[in-house]
Amino acid sequence: MKKVMALILALAMLAALGACAGPQEESEPQQTIAEPQQTTVETQQTVAETEKTEDELQKVTFVLDWTPNTNHTGIYVAVENGYFEENGLDVEIIQPSDTGVIQLIAADSAQFGIDFQESTTFARDAGIPVVSIAAILQHNTSAFAAPADKEIASPKDFEDKTYGGWGMDMETATIQYMMEQDGGDFSKVNIVTMGDTDALTAFDMNSIDFAWIYEGWQGINAQLQGVELSFVRFEDSVFDYYTPIIITSEDMISNNKETVSKFMDAVVKGYTYAAENPSKSADILLKHAPELDSELVHASQEYLSPKYIDDAESFGVQKQEVWDRYTQWLLDQGFLDTMVDSTQAFTNEFVQ
């Protein structure tokens, strides 16, 4: 149990690499034209109507995996465009503290949240009844990245190179497996722990040769900075699993199915809008998270919007073969005690 929970917390740290905030934008100047004042009766009516509307909405809490970024855009679109309110929901979006997403949902401190296939699998292996109800991305957009002059084009090229990571067993297992599949010698890789150092900073310092990054955020940021990277991606492999995902608890599905349906109806609309309108949805994310860098958000959104639905029939759909494939790998590598039943770990009920 301790090993599993440590992995869950470590994976939450891994997710943090995709959340690089930019400088805060200056606030717009206040309007100087005075608005007509409401009468006392009008004011009382407006307050009463607002209180009535708020009272009629069902409050639910949604917890992010980290600070706001383009993985979350569809949620903010659903708020901004009124999709949640239309379904009778008042959704509070929070960021996780020291308590992880899974723990908050298991304790019903939040009803929905963003997680990852691997950590949800670990949670279920540990007896924590959380369920994935949508895939935000159809394919894994994380990748091993290296400065182009390192000439890393395949896992075998990791030989005689230095990898900078977080000291997780899963990292080394992934690198070793990929190298062995490509005919490489894992013993020739030097692995160091970067701590809080950003991969791009470590590249610039020439302290590492390659790292595991999110292409849709750090990869885009590198482009904007004029840093040329090469990538070893995970497509068509066991590592092309669902990350990130939206999760809830078995209890919510069993006892509050209507709420889950209403919530996911709004979420599907939000991400579908974001898929079709990258620039407008980027503006919405920036409105709700003005501390982010506008150029990075817009560039990242252009990259990510087509990937929300990609080759799926609609947003959020998950395939059992993807869950089974990676779960089997985790079991084979000794990260699981049992073969977690993927039919219990995810459902497409609320996205189809």
Stretch(es) of the chain classified as CATH 3.40.190.10 = 2-15+54-139+242-345, 142-232
pLDDT-derived band at 304, boundaries 50, 70, 90? very high
Q: Please give the Cα distance from 285 to 262 (Å, whole number).
A: 22
pLDDT-derived band at 328, boundaries 50, 70, 90? very high
CATH 3.40.190.10 fits 142-232, yes or no: yes
pLDDT-derived band at 137, boundaries 50, 70, 90? very high
- The predicted pLDDT at position 55 comes to 66
pLDDT-derived band at 96, boundaries 50, 70, 90? confident
pLDDT (mean) for 262-272: 98
- The predicted pLDDT at position 23 comes to 30
- The predicted pLDDT at position 60 comes to 98
pLDDT (mean) for 54-73: 93
* Residues in contact with 253: Cβ distance below 8 Å, sequence separation at least 6, in sequence order: 131, 133, 260, 347, 349
Q: Is the pLDDT of residue 186 over 70?
A: yes
pLDDT-derived band at 15, boundaries 50, 70, 90? very low
Q: Is the pLDDT of residue 81 over 90?
A: yes
Nearest partner of 271 among 81, 36, 66, judged by Cα: 81
pTM for the structure as a whole: 0.86
Helix (H) / strand (E) element for 295: namely helix 294-304
- The predicted pLDDT at position 29 comes to 30
Q: Is the pLDDT of residue 12 over 60?
A: no
- The predicted pLDDT at position 157 comes to 98
* Residues in contact with 113: Cβ distance below 8 Å, sequence separation at least 6, in sequence order: 62, 63, 64, 65, 96, 101, 102, 104, 105, 246, 247, 248
Q: Is the pLDDT of residue 292 over 60?
A: yes
pLDDT (mean) for 184-197: 95
CATH 3.40.190.10 fits 2-15+54-139+242-345, yes or no: yes
pLDDT-derived band at 276, boundaries 50, 70, 90? very high
- The predicted pLDDT at position 52 comes to 40
Task: Give CA separation, 200 vs 22, 155, 158, 164, 309, in Å.
Answer: 15, 20, 18, 11, 29
pLDDT-derived band at 98, boundaries 50, 70, 90? confident
- The predicted pLDDT at position 53 comes to 55
